[in-house]
C-alpha cells in the first residue's frame, strides 16, 4: 500500500503539489551552492587577471608618455581569458583510468595549500591608446611598432587615436 492510495482526490493533489515544490526547492538550493563556490573561484582568478591587465596598461602608458612627450595618455588592454594556474601534482596513468593528486604544503595557519608550479598569463588580444599626437601617422607608426614588438600583437589589433 502506497501513501497515495490512502488519500482522496483533493488531498492527493495537494500532496503531489507540496512534494513537487519541495523537489524544486531542493534543486534550486543545490544549484545555488555550486554557483557560490564557482563565483569565489572566479573572483580569485579575476583578481590576478585584473592585476596583470593593470600592469600591462601601466607599462604601455609609460612608454607612450616617453615617445609622445605627453602625460595625457589612456590605455585599454583586452585579454582573451583569465589567468590560469598550474599546480604540482602526481599523475598516475593506468590502462583503465587516470588519477591526479595535488601536492600540498601545510601553512603556518595549519591549512593545506597546493604548490603553484606556474601561472599562465592571459593572451592579449587588443590594445587601444589615446594620447596627444596620436592622430599623426608617424606617431601611430612608432607606437604600433613598439607595442606589436613588445607584446607580439599584429598591427591590426592595436588602435592609436589622438586627444585634444
Answer yes or no: do 126 and 116 share one domain: no
CA torsion sign for 28, 30, 34, 37 is: positive
Answer yes or no: do 41 and 63 share one domain: yes
Give CA–CA dist 45/18, Å, rounded: 41
CATH code at position 129: 3.30.300.30
Report pLDDT digits (tens) over 64-120. 999 999 889 999 999 988 778 888 888 888 888 888 888 888 888 888 888 888 888
pLDDT at 63: 94
Q: Tell me which residue range forms the domain holding 68.
A: 9-83+121-162
pLDDT band, residue 137 (cuts 50/70/90): very high
3-class secondary-structure state, position 37: helix
- Residue 3 inside a domain? The answer is no
pLDDT at 37: 45
Q: State the DSSP code for 135.
A: T
Give CA–CA dist 28/35, Å, rounded: 11
Give CA–CA dist 32/22, Å, rounded: 15
pLDDT at 92: 82
Answer yes or no: do 53 and 64 share one domain: yes
Report pLDDT digits (tens) over 22-74. 877 777 776 665 554 444 444 445 788 899 999 999 999 999 999 999 889 99
Judge contact between 79 and 122, C-beta under 8 A: yes
Answer yes or no: do 62 and 112 share one domain: no
Q: How many structural domains compose the chain?
A: 2
pLDDT at 65: 94
pTM (predicted TM-score): 0.60
Amino acid at each position: 500500500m502506497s501513501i497515495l492510495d490512502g488519500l482522496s482526490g483533493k488531498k492527493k493533489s495537494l500532496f503531489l503539489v507540496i512534494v513537487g515544490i519541495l523537489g524544486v526547492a531542493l534543486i534550486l538550493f543545490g544549484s545555488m551552492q555550486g554557483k557560490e563556490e564557482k563565483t569565489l573561484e572566479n573572483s580569485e582568478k579575476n583578481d590576478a587577471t585584473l592585476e596583470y591587465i593593470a600592469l600591462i596598461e601601466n607599462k604601455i602608458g609609460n612608454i607612450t608618455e616617453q615617445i609622445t612627450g605627453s602625460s595625457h595618455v589612456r590605455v585599454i588592454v583586452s585579454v582573451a581569458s583569465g589567468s590560469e594556474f598550474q599546480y604540482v601534482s602526481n599523475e598516475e596513468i593506468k590502462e583503465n583510468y587516470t588519477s591526479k593528486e595535488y601536492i600540498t604544503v601545510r601553512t603556518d595557519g595549519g591549512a593545506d595549500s597546493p604548490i603553484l608550479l606556474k601561472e599562465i598569463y592571459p593572451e592579449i588580444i587588443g590594445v587601444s591608446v589615446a594620447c596627444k599626437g596620436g592622430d599623426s601617422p608617424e606617431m601611430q607608426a612608432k607606437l604600433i611598432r613598439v607595442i606589436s614588438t613588445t607584446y607580439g600583437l599584429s598591427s591590426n589589433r592595436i588602435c592609436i587615436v589622438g586627444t585634444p
